Amino acid sequence: MSGTRRTLSRLRAFLFRRRRDADLDAELAAHIDFATEEGVERGLSLAEARRQAMIRFGGIQQAKEQQREARGIMNLDILLQDIKYTLRTLGRDPGFTTVAVLILALAIGANIAVFSVVNTLMLRPLPFRDAQQLVWIAPPPTKCGMSCATYSTDAYDEFRVGSRSYQDVTGYFAFSSADNLSLKLGSAPVTATSIDVIANFFQLLGVQPAMGRLFTADDARNGAPPVILLSDPWWRRQFNADPHIIGKAYDINGHQTTVIGVLPASFDFGAVFAPGTKVDAITPLNLYGPPRDWGNIITLIGRLKPGISLAQAVDEAARVAPSMCWNNKYPDSCGSYKGSVIPVPLKDYISGKLRQSLIVLWSAVGAILLIACVNLSNLLLARAAARSKEFAMRGALGASRARIVRQLLTESLVLSGAGAVFGLLLALTLVQWLTHQGAIALPLLSTLRIDSASLGWTVLIAVLSALFFGLVPGLRMASGNLHETLKDSSAGSGQSRKHERTRSILVVSEVALACMLLVGAGLLLRSFLHVLDVDLGFQPERAAAIKVDYDDNVPNDKTGDLTTQKRTAIFQQVLSSVGALPGVEAVGITDYLPLGQNRSWGTPFPKGVKVPDNLAGPLVYVVTTGYQRAMGTRVRGRDFAWSDGPHNENVVMINESYARFLAAQTHWPNNDAIGQIISSDPQGDPKNDLHIIGVVDDVHEESTDGEAGWQIYYPVTQAGPVGAELVIRTTLPPASLATSVMRTLRDLNPKQPLAEFRPIQSLVDHANSPRRFFMLLVAAFASLGLLLAALGIYGVISYSVTRQTSEIGIRMALGASAGLVQRQVLVGTLRLALIGVVLGALASLATAKLIASLLFATSPWDGATYIAMALTLIAIAALAGYVPARRASRISPLVALRAS
Amino acid sequence: MSPKLDLLQGTLDLMVLQTLAAIGSLHGYGIARRIEQVSGNEVLLNQGTIYASLVRLEQSGLISSSWGVSNNNRKAKFYAITKSGRRRLVADAEHWERLTGVMDRVFAMDKGEEPA
């Protein structure tokens, strides 16, 4: 049969349905006329003939429906009808429509936004070509920080040459500090941050420049002219998006440096490798220059050959590791990487830690959506109850049950569609805002966007929620006995009681979900407060840091002593000048600040005691006298002095944990490290002895919520720092000193760039930002859940009060006091809330494992949190029930009885 | 009177085709009456159902329709069978005969007679 022809006819019939309908009407009218005429000819009266004609015809409406169904695209036809009808009914009830769309918009919007985050961090591949081939090569996490997550240049070479699993291996210098570039533009130098990468870095990642070229091996050779690649934001901000910038040279750190390219906007080094920091430029790392002797400085990133599995790469890395040397000059350093060369998918390295947080977040918004659906279900039920007559009437007129359910589902779909549209707008705003939260130390945040997957997700959840919240009232409605409904005029019928039971169940589940959300948020909040309470080992309040530029270069300094002397003089000068400023309480200089970058230099140990294998060494800080006081870190023993010069005995300070560990390895009087000697020189040359002069508090150097590791402090007068962070403790708010400090530094060194004056608190905030971020989000969702639950409770109680108006009126006429009525309504409310809270608490207890790994010093079964949250919920429920209860108590028996 | 027969799916379409083939151009009421008469009122037919059948057949190109005037001067839509409608009728009638033949044999078996 000509199926196409039939389809075309159907389509035509659908498009011209009005004309077809008129046609059909005329045809049917003719039919009845023929039949009537025949009846009259047989001798019947006109009326009787017409009646019999109608009987024999069957239902006119049914016949029309059947014909329409046969001729057109019935579903589309009905859908259009339903939508038209829905818009009309919804328009007639703007209050309901607004509330419903608002609830859905909030819930769906939150879901889309969180989905975009989850999609970016967890589901979508990294923003690189064939990102699944990329691996991060590092040892398992240890407490010696970046130094133990990096490799020496010799090790890199050996690994690259010795491995066959990779298309190529690259890496970057892991110890660049912020603001390490000083760009001379006009009078005052500006600072920027650059990262040194191995020349093949971009080729390996598959990043193409937006302009110019990438690095080549020649750019990283000894004596190569300095070149630089600009990030897109820096190029726009600092160079006004100069389209002719390629080939121009600028004075950067005192060298004429040529801009060879601008990176694409889609590449953000910070977003991928250093969350929460901005990287302005990329410079080539000369593997065969001085870095050769800098030890572990390179992070490794590899691109696997197609078809090579991770397991194969892991096996091979374990085979290659023993032949990698820390420094080829020292044969005994070969093999030191055994067991610490392990490839993991780059994506796992970047966002693996966040997996659990994201799952919790996702569950939280899922719960929000559920609550919203339950709420909507409830609202629709209330509406359906009010419309039950309408539906009964339609049923009596021949509408099938399926048709009525379909009509109700259409209403749900229209509502959720509108909710999805507004939700999408909300999510767009949220995502837009999130991408600009550079200070949140979450990876890939700047690449966040609403993509096609997010849109698909939007459609999916909109349809699913429409089905979910539309089906229950739909079925409830359609299952009613229409005779009873039509007959029944008072609201106290069995039908409404059944409704009320359904609604109570819905409210209870809503309260239970809200309870779970609240408990989760409460636990996260408590953890966050605990983290804020952690003794970090330093006092972040009223302290700030600024990067100080200095030039300690002394030409032809064979021993390094002259450099050290020059540096000492500069630092001494800086500290005495800044220290003399009014409001400054203490000043000191360090090369690395806590909660930032770190490194280690081997493991100094008591002489004669063998260092255990694979022991991670303490983190190294090179500081001046006064640094500990400026940071607010307590020192036992003495501080460094300017007199601890290059020719005096070497002095160090270590932290309590390391002191305790060392004391346990040997026999020191009173187990006290002060005055003892340690050394990391295997030969034990007394020249390299380190005299412990002080023991300082444990400082949280890597994270606020982790354990403090081991630290060792060297004086700038004896060891070489990699930079200078001037730390100032003030009696005034730190920011008020920014200008005077900068002026002082400029007076001492005109080349001092306009570096940022950073409160130490901001370092702590930065470290806490992911936790704060997740906590705030979950708390926001919990509040939303609470609000929705309160709304649900209010709706149900309010409805039941309305329904019982006459009953309450009678009881009051029989002597029930207003207080009693009010109390009874409230008790009913609290009963629902209590059941919900108990169920929610039980569910929380059961699912506590999910959240356990995100908590800090808080049990997932923390009683205080559970009780506080339960009380909050019950209080809110009481509040939500109070309004209708009050209304009930105000019912005038006379009015109520007359009304019924 | 025994209950009227429910029409099997598709049989109404066949009846309409046969009616139009036998009588020529006819309006909806005429077709319905004709079927009622021929079936000796044994078929349960709401006359209204004929219109779904008519539109189905027309959309498949088996019948055609046009507005005309009846004997008693009434405006009505007249249906006529098309060439492909006739072809379809032949095919369906053959199919129907085969089916009744099979059904006859099946019922004969039910009476205990061996099938030939």
Residue B1 lies in a domain: no
Tokens linked to B84: 């492909």
What number is the average pLDDT over the span A798-809? 81
Q: Show which of A56, A71, A86 is a domain's final residue.
A: A71
Whether residue B6 lies inside any domain: the answer is: no
C-alpha to C-alpha distance for A352 and A22, rounded to whole angstroms: 65
**A733 and A612 in a common domain:** yes
**pLDDT at residue B111 in the model:** 59
Structural domain contains residue A602: yes
Q: Strands A255-262 and A249-252, how do they pair?
A: antiparallel
pLDDT level of residue A28 (50, 70, 90 thresholds): confident
- In this structure, how many other beta carbons lie within 10 angstroms of the beta carbon of residue A179? 22
Residue A359 phi, psi dihedral angles, 5° rounding: -65, -45
Give A67 to chain B, closest Cα distance, Å.
Answer: 4
User: Is B35 a domain residue?
Assistant: yes
What does the pLDDT look like over A568-612, one tens digit per residue? 999 999 999 999 999 999 999 999 999 887 787 888 989 888 887
**A360 in the same domain as A332:** no
Contacts 24+ apart (CB under 8 A), A212-221: A212/A246, A212/A259, A212/A260, A212/A261, A212/A262, A213/A260, A213/A261, A214/A260, A214/A261, A215/A260, A215/A282, A215/A284, A219/A260, A219/A284, A220/A284, A220/A285, A220/A286, A220/A287, A221/A286, A221/A288
For residue B2, tell me if it sits in a domain: no
> Quick count: other Cβ atoms within 10 Å of Cβ A701?
26
Per CB-CB distance under 8 Å, the chain B contacts of A1 are: 60
pLDDT exceeds 90 at position A69: no
CATH assignment of the domain containing B103? 1.10.10.10
The pLDDT, as a whole number, for residue A119 is 92
Q: For the ranges A494-498, A620-624, A641-645, A754-758, which has the lowest average pLDDT?
A: A494-498
Report the run of H or E that residue A176 belongs to, with start and end. Answer: none
**Chain A residue with Cα closest to B87:** A1
B32/A31 Cβ within 8 A: yes
Q: Which of B32, B47, B59 sits opposite A71 (nearest CB)?
A: B59
Break chain A down into helix, strand, coil percent, rounded to 5. Answer: 55, 15, 30
Phi (first) and psi of residue A381, to 5 degrees: -60, -45
Taking the C-alpha atoms of residue B108 and residue A562, their distance in angstroms, rounded to an integer, is: 122
With an 8 Å Cβ cutoff, the interface of chain B facing chain A consists of 27-30, 32-33, 46-49, 51-56, 58-61, 70, 72, 74-77
**CB-CB contact of A272 with A305 (8 Å):** no
pLDDT digits (tens, 9 = 90+) for B51-89: 888 888 888 889 998 888 888 788 889 999 999 999 999
Determine the structural domain holding residue B64 and report its residue range.
11-110
- Global pTM? 0.76
A641-696 confidence digits (pLDDT tens): 999 988 889 999 999 999 999 998 888 888 899 999 999 887 888 888 999 999 99
Q: Could you say which DSSP state residue A119 is in? A: I
Q: Are residues B59 and A10, on separate chains, in Cβ contact within 8 Å?
A: yes
Q: Is A458 found in the same domain as A364?
A: yes
The answer on A309 and A165 residing in a single domain is yes
Residue A392 lies in a domain: yes
Residue in chain A closest to B44 (alpha carbons) equals A56
pLDDT digits (tens, 9 = 90+) for A227-274: 999 999 999 999 999 999 999 999 998 889 999 999 998 898 988 888
Same domain assignment for residues A218 and A265: yes
Is A727 found in the same domain as A867?
Answer: no
Mean pLDDT, chain A, as a whole number?
A: 86
Q: Are residues A686 and A799 in the same domain?
A: no
**Residue A599 — φ and ψ, nearest 5°?**
-160, 165
Mutate to test the interface with B, among A8, A56, A64 (most CBs of B within 10 A): A56
Q: Is the dihedral of CA A443, A445, A451, A454 positive or negative?
A: positive
pLDDT mean over A823-831: 88
Both structure tokens of A84: 């038209």
| Nearest Cα residue in chain B from A29 | B76
Q: Is the pLDDT reported for residue A550 higher than 70?
A: yes
Query: Which residues between 167 and 196 in chain A have a beta carbon less than 8 angstroms from any beta carbon of chain B?
Result: none
Given an 8 Å threshold on Cβ–Cβ distance, is B74 in contact with A30?
yes
Closest alpha carbon within chain A to B27: A31
- Alpha-carbon span A393 to A402, nearest angstrom: 15
Which amino acid belongs to residue A886? R
Judged by a CB distance cut-off of 8 A, whether residue A26 touches chain B is yes
Rounded CA separation A797/A508 (Å): 12
Highest mean pLDDT among A152-156, A404-408, A419-423 belongs to A419-423
pLDDT band at B116; cut points 50, 70, 90: very low
Do residues A368 and A110 lie in contact, with contact meaning Cβ atoms separated by under 8 Å? yes
Q: Give the distance from residue B78's alpha carbon to the nearest chain A alpha carbon, in angstroms.
A: 10
Q: Is the pLDDT of residue A383 over 60?
A: yes
- pLDDT band (50, 70, 90) for residue A283: very high
Instruction: Identify all chain A residues contacting B16, using CB atoms and an 8 Å cutoff.
Output: none
Residues linked to residue B64 through DSSP beta bridges, in sequence order: B80
Amino acid at A184: K
Number of domains making up chain B: 1
**A 323-362: CB under 8 A from B:** none
As a whole number of Å, the end-to-end CA separation of chain A is 63
Reported as a single tens digit per residue, the pLDDT across A413-470 is: 999 999 999 999 999 999 998 888 777 878 888 888 888 999 999 999 999 999 888 8
Non-local (6+) Cβ contacts of A678 within 8 A are: A604, A605, A606, A607, A652, A654, A662, A689, A690, A692
| 3 state DSSP class of A334 | strand
Give yes or no for residue A170 having a pLDDT over 70.
Answer: yes
Residue the block writes with tokens 């000043």: A587
- Do A742 and A775 fall into the same domain? no
Pairwise CB contact (< 8 Å): A71 & B55 = yes
Taking an 8 Å cut-off on Cβ atoms, the answer to whether A58 and B76 are in contact is no
Given CB atoms, is A30 within the 8 Å cutoff of chain B? yes
**Chain B: residue nearest A4 by CA?**
B60
> Do A503 and A649 share a structural domain?
no
Average pLDDT, stretch A517-537?
A: 90
Between A72 and A410, the more confident residue is A410
- In-domain check, residue A126: no
Domain assignment present for residue B4? The answer is no
Helix (H, G, I), strand (E, B) or coil at A182: strand
Give me the domain span that covers residue A360. 355-534+770-899
> With contact defined as beta carbons under 8 Å apart, do A773 and A861 qualify?
no
CB contact under 8 A, A62 and B48: yes
A24 inside 8 A of chain B by CB: yes
What's the structural domain count of chain A? 4
- Residue B43 within any structural domain of the chain: yes
Q: Looking at the domain assignment, is residue B3 inside a domain?
A: no
Q: What is the pLDDT of residue A623?
A: 95
What is the pLDDT, as a whole number, of residue A558?
A: 79
Please indicate, yes or no, whether residues A385 and A488 belong to a single structural domain of this protein: yes
State the average pLDDT over residues A25-33: 88
In this predicted structure, the answer to whether residue A835 has a pLDDT above a threshold of 90 is: yes
Confidence label for A478 from pLDDT (cuts 50, 70 and 90): low
Name the residue facing B49 among A33, A38, A58 (closest C-beta). A58
Q: A61 to chain B: nearest residue by CA?
A: B48
Is A100 a domain residue?
no
Q: Which pLDDT belongs to residue A206?
A: 93
pLDDT one-digit tens code per residue, A712-740 = 999 999 988 888 999 999 998 888 888 99
Average pLDDT for residues A497-521, to the nearest whole number? 86
The answer to whether the Cβ–Cβ distance between B46 and A71 falls below 8 Å is no
CA B70 to chain A, closest CA, distance in angstroms equals 10
- Residue B52: what pLDDT? 85
Look at residue B115 and tell me whether its pLDDT is greater than 60: no
Say yes or no: A148 and A187 in one domain.
yes
Give bridge partners of residue A589 from the DSSP assignment: A726
In the predicted model, what is the mean pLDDT of residues A88-97? 86
Looking at the predicted structure, is the pLDDT value of residue A73 above 70?
no
The pLDDT tens digits of the residues spanning B105-114 come to 888 875 555 5
- The answer to whether residue A105 is domain-embedded is no
Q: Is residue A82 part of a domain?
A: no
| Site of tokens 């003719």 | A30
Residue A779 resides in a domain: yes
8 Å CB contact of B51 and A24: yes
pLDDT at A492: 46
User: Based on the domain organization, do A234 and A298 belong to the same domain?
Assistant: yes
Q: Is residue A763 part of a domain?
A: no
Query: What mean pLDDT comes out for the span B91-114?
Result: 81
* Token digits of residue A61: 């409406």
- Using a CB-CB cut-off of 8 Å, the residues of chain B touching A16 are none
Looking at residue A85, its pLDDT comes to: 86
Q: Would the pLDDT of A5 be above 90?
A: no
Distance from the B58 Cα atom to the nearest Cα atom in chain A, whole angstroms: 9
- The pLDDT score that the predictor gives to residue A200 is 94
Q: What percent of chain A has pLDDT over 90?
A: 38
Q: pLDDT band at residue B44, thresholds of 50, 70 and 90?
A: low
Q: Is it the case that residue B32 has pLDDT exceeding 80?
A: yes
Question: How near does any CA of chain B get to the CA of A470, in Å?
Answer: 32
Q: Which residues of B touch A38 (CB under 8 A)?
A: 33
Per-residue DSSP letters for A383-422? HHHHTHHHHHHHHHTT--HHHHHHHHHHHHHHHHHHHHHH
Q: Quick one: how far is CA A316 from the chain centroid?
A: 35
What ipTM was assigned to the predicted interfaces of this complex? 0.83
Q: What percentage of chain A reaches a pLDDT higher than 70?
A: 95
Final residue of a structural domain among A16, A38, A71? A71
End residue of a domain, out of A697, A723, A752: A752
Residue B98 placed within a domain: yes
